[in-house]
Structures are given as C-alpha cells and as structure tokens.
C-alpha cells in the first residue's frame, strides 16, 4: 500500500483559516509544509496497518482507527466524524454514522454472498465511502488505502489507481473525478477500469 493522494497541489499555496483549524503545528504556513507532515504521518499509519490481522476490519471502528493512525500526528480531529456539511457529499453530518453502519453491513454481504466480482465490490466500496465523506479531510487517501487493505485481506489483486498516469497527476485526477461522477449515476465501469488498469 502507498500514500497516493492523486492530487497535484501548489506547495506554496498559503493555508487558509479553515485549513488551520485542528492542526497540531502552529508554525505551518503553506500546503507544501502540510503535505510533507501528512505524508510522514501516512507512512506511519501504513506501517501500523501492515501489522493488523484482526477480524473486525470490516467495521466503522476500524475505519476510524485507520484514519486516526494516518492523520493523528497532524490533526486533532483525526478519526472523528465531520460535524459540518460539505458540498462533496449528499449526506448531512448527522447521517455519517448511520450511513457507515449500513455500508459495512452491505460490504460484508457483498463479500460473503459471492454474487459480485471483486472489481464490482472494490468500485462500489470505494465510491460509497467517498460519497459518505466521513471525516473533515483525508477521505480520499483513507478510502484508497482502506480499499487496498480489504483487497489484500481477501487475497485479491490490489488496484493500480491508473498508475500509468502517475507522471501526470492533473490528468490522472481528472479521469478519477469523471469516473466517480459516472458512478454517481450508477455506471461503475469507468471506475472499475480506472482501478484495475495494469501497472506500466
């Protein structure tokens, strides 16, 4: 697993007041500094995840613990649900808990029933978590890392996230967003293709 945020951001962009809320480091001034600290934290979180063998990984509690491990050194709210509304999600903040409980019940059913392919399970799992947008920030990275972890735990091939475009993050993210938008409409094929493309 890797810390892949699929984002091409200008590191010199100043942090705005909303971005600074809940941060553990008062000296940070721009996106580059924040990205560097988050990347270091994510590497620690991935090391923690690598050693997790418990059977309760298909749970809301495990997802929250993962988010805390990935971002807790940087953000005070890591591992806690968002309390504000965001345009990227159709769910209100008070819906996050119930939606996640429903999601994990569905995910267990998808895996146990064997009626869906792992391409379908992976795409639906990833899209559903992105839509719920449980945390104030770090949802995309957490969701991609969690998707890979569930695949590994079930002896499945880990998704590539369009690795052939790793050299072109803007184009890669554009295709990713379009695939998510198609999934919003019930068409998961673009997202499946994006996720399962062979590594170059």
Q: Tens digits of per-residue pLDDT, 61-95?
A: 999 999 999 999 999 999 999 999 999 899 999 99
The tokens for 138 are 């770090």
Give the pLDDT score at 158.
92
pLDDT tens column, 102-131: 999 999 999 999 999 999 999 999 999 999
Task: Give the separation between CA 67 and CA 60, rounded to whole angstroms.
Answer: 11
Got the DSSP string for 124-184?
Answer: HHHHHHHHH--SSS-HHHHHHHHHHHHHHHTT-PPP-SSGGGTT-HHHHHHHHHHHHHHHH
Taking all residues of the chain, what is their mean pLDDT, rounded to a whole number?
Answer: 90
Superfamily assignment of 17-157 in CATH?
Fido-like domain (1.10.3290.10)
pLDDT band at residue 26, thresholds of 50, 70 and 90?
A: confident
pLDDT (average), residues 39-49 = 97
- Whether pTM exceeds 0.95: no
Query: Is residue 145's pLDDT more than 90?
Result: yes
Q: What is the arithmetic mean of pLDDT over 187-193?
A: 96
């Amino acid at each position: 697993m890797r810390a892949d945020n699929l984002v091409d951001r200008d590191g010199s962009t100043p942090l705005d007041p909303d971005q600074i809320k809940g941060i553990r480091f008062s000296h940070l001034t721009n996106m580059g500094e924040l990205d560097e600290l988050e990347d270091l934290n994510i590497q620690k979180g991935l090391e923690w995840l690598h050693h997790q063998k418990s059977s309760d990984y298909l749970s809301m509690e495990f997802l929250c613990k993962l988010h805390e491990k990935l971002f807790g050194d940087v953000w005070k709210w890591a591992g806690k649900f968002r309390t504000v509304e965001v345009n990227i999600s159709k769910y209100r903040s008070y819906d996050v808990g119930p939606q996640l409980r429903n999601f994990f019940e569905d995910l267990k059913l998808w895996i146990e029933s064997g009626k869906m392919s792992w391409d379908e399970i992976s795409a639906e799992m990833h899209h559903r978590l992105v839509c719920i947008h449980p945390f104030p920030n770090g949802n995309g990275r957490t969701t991609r890392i969690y998707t890979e972890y569930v695949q590994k735990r079930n002896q499945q091939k880990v998704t590539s996230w369009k690795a052939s475009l790793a050299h072109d993050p803007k184009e890669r993210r554009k295709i990713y967003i379009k695939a998510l938008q198609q999934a919003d409409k019930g068409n998961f094929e673009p997202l499946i293709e994006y996720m399962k493309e062979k590594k170059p």
